[in-house]
Structure 1
Amino acid sequence: MRRNARIADLPQNTTSTKPNRKRKVAEKIAPIKRHNFGGPFRRQSWPFRDTLINYITKTPSNSKAWQKLIQSCKYFFAKNPVLVIENLWWDEEDWCASLNNDAGPVDFTKISLKFWITNKFSATCAPPGNGISLIIPKIYKCGVKYLSLVKDVISYKDFSFLFSNLENIVLRDNIVKNSDGSIVPFEKIFAVLPKIKECYFYDKIDSSCITKNTIKELLQIPHFSKINKLYFYQIPETFDIETFFKYSKKNKHTKFSITFGNSISETYKNRLEAVVDEIIESEKHDYTVLNIMFNGIDGEKLTKLCSLSYP
């Protein structure tokens, strides 16, 4: 099969709304290097048993080795049409893929091969019908280290399959669902990310995945204490601030920031205010200071808290 996509570096900003952006990007894209992966191939006289060749063909375990294999012999791609790409992202009107400084649009409705994604996956602002549900059946393996997913719905099974190698994740207004349709709590999502280093999580206000047990469950996950940054946004008052604050006073590694939603009650705001007061009034901070923001916080207190949180 011919690769009919043009290939270029992943754009720095894939959310531009300029009407002529697509034309300008196209003008900068290097000419396509065409590779005829399909077409006829000769029967090979392997110095190995067919069972071994079949195993290598059907169960490749390394993306770089597979890329070299399909470039060296048409047989392997013909028997297992999997194409390695580094990045996959939504770019205003099309899905785009890149590999080795080449990039271009991909029409997933017209291809039968599958993709092995190795670096970045950004499904930011993909419209209904073109979201991640369209992509999942076309993914053979996913070893991406960075994910940006905005306003989409994905099953817990698919999320676990695709993103277990993530190091950096941005989740905004998404819903991760169990097989019965129920919402997966945040701690269960976090549990399948053992390599995560930075997490930026925006809760979906009308379908929150933060429960009263979220913090207690997070503290039981071994890699929770190893994450470098964890930023929460639009958080409801089901968040157990007392338990989390107690933990944060022993934390010397992770940078935590919590921005609460506007729907929290005055009673809960008073609880947050007490936490803020304890932090800024303490003479000693031998831990990484927790940053807290909410509508109604005293401006002077917020300034002091930020100076402690972001020295």
Structure 2
Amino acid sequence: MDDKKWKTRINKVWKNIDSKNILSKFWITDNLLNVKTNSADEKLVLSLFIPKLYKCDVKCLELKNQIISFNELLFLSLNVEYLSLNQVIVKYGDGVIVPLEKIVEIYKKAKSVRYTCVRETLNITFKTFNELLKIPHFLTLDRFDISNIPDELDIELFYNFMKENKETKFHLRFFIQNNIAYKNRLESIIDEIIATKNFSYKPPVIICHGIPNRKMNKLQRISRKH
């Protein structure tokens, strides 16, 4: 979907649909994604479309630059196996921003979660990773990919868990400005992983501006091999 038209794919062919002229409600299966969302109005396009649905069975949900309610996200969550939220702001009914762990919690069938933080929302805190560890299906994800991570994330708890977890491939991209100590700790973690000879876990990808590219590139090569 985009700001001007909706499309559906039938027998691998994309066809335009005019939702304004269709009286019956939609049942969406397989994939739901949105593109071209830049203006303020476009950020609400999904919320405007959800009332036109009577059922949602998507397995792949990819949203970008949307503002939606927690209940709307819950409506889309039932059978999702692949979740990608890029710069998506999720709010409770009272306008409070929904924490990342509450978003992950509702996707009980998810195998892969990709999430790009909106820096201004502050929905990642020091307790976020501890709360994620309380979610049973988080512990068995195939992949957890998160970008724009602030220095509020408990990196020590993550590192300890990551070394024990044999299920999940982690891709972490940090946005760290002035916290030199945090950045140094990330670099030392990368050094420790690179120096490891035999892995009992899946080596993560860790990216942070200010850490030498040669180290991050080497870590990525190690991650691809495992």
Deviation at 1:214, TM superposition (A): 1.0
1:179 corresponding residue in structure 2: 93
2:4 corresponding residue in structure 1: 93
Q: CA distance change for structure 1 residues 108 and 198 in 2, over 3 Å: closer, same or farther?
A: same
2:26 corresponding residue in structure 1: 115
> Counterpart amino acid of 1:137?
P
1:274 corresponding residue in structure 2: 188
Paired residues for 1:237-256 under 5 Å: 237-256=151-170
Tell me, yes or no, if structure 1 residue 205 matches structure 2 residue 116.
Answer: no
Runs of 5+ in structure 1 lacking a partner?
1-88
Range 127-136 or range 220-229, more displaced: 127-136
Higher relative contact order (CA 8 A, sep 6+): 2
- Give the distance between the partners of 2:222 and 2:14, measured in 1 at CA: 43
Q: CA distance change for structure 1 residues 100 and 216 in 2, over 3 Å: closer, same or farther?
A: same
Deviation at 1:290, TM superposition (A): 1.9
Deviation at 1:235, TM superposition (A): 0.9
Tell me, yes or no, if structure 1 residue 227 matches structure 2 residue 141.
Answer: yes
1:192 corresponding residue in structure 2: 106
> Counterpart amino acid of 2:67?
V
SS in 2 for 1:188: helix
Paired residues for 1:61-80 under 5 Å: none
SS in 2 for 1:234: strand
Deviations 1:127-164 (A, max 9, x none): 52561011011010100001110001110011111222
Q: Contact (CA 8 Å) 2:115, 2:146: kept in 1 or not?
A: yes
Cα root mean square deviation, aligned: 1.8
1:131 corresponding residue in structure 2: 45
- Give the distance between the partners of 1:266 and 1:283, measured in 2 at CA: 28
Deviations 1:171-206 (A, max 9, x none): 111101011101101110001111111122111112
Tell me, yes or no, if structure 1 residue 142 matches structure 2 residue 56.
Answer: yes
> Counterpart amino acid of 1:184?
V
Moved over 6 A (4+): none
Range 92-101 or range 160-169, more displaced: 92-101
- Give the distance between the partners of 1:104 and 1:281, measured in 2 at CA: 52
Range 187-196 or range 271-280, more displaced: 271-280
- Give the distance between the partners of 1:190 and 1:114, measured in 2 at CA: 28
Structure with more of its chain in strand, by fraction: 2
- Give the distance between the partners of 2:75 and 2:101, measured in 1 at CA: 17
- Give the distance between the partners of 1:133 and 1:284, measured in 2 at CA: 48
Report which of the two structures shows the higher radius of gyration computed on alpha carbons. 1
Runs of 5+ in structure 2 lacking a partner?
none
Q: Contact (CA 8 Å) 2:77, 2:107: kept in 1 or not?
A: yes
> Counterpart amino acid of 2:97?
I
SS in 1 for 2:20: coil
> Counterpart amino acid of 2:212?
D
Deviation at 1:111, TM superposition (A): 3.1
- Give the distance between the partners of 2:17 and 2:145, measured in 1 at CA: 33
> Counterpart amino acid of 1:121?
L
Deviations 1:35-59 (A, max 9, x none): xxxxxxxxxxxxxxxxxxxxxxxxx
| TM-score of the pair, normalised by structure 1 | 0.67
- Give the distance between the partners of 1:162 and 1:141, measured in 2 at CA: 9
Deviation at 1:114, TM superposition (A): 0.5
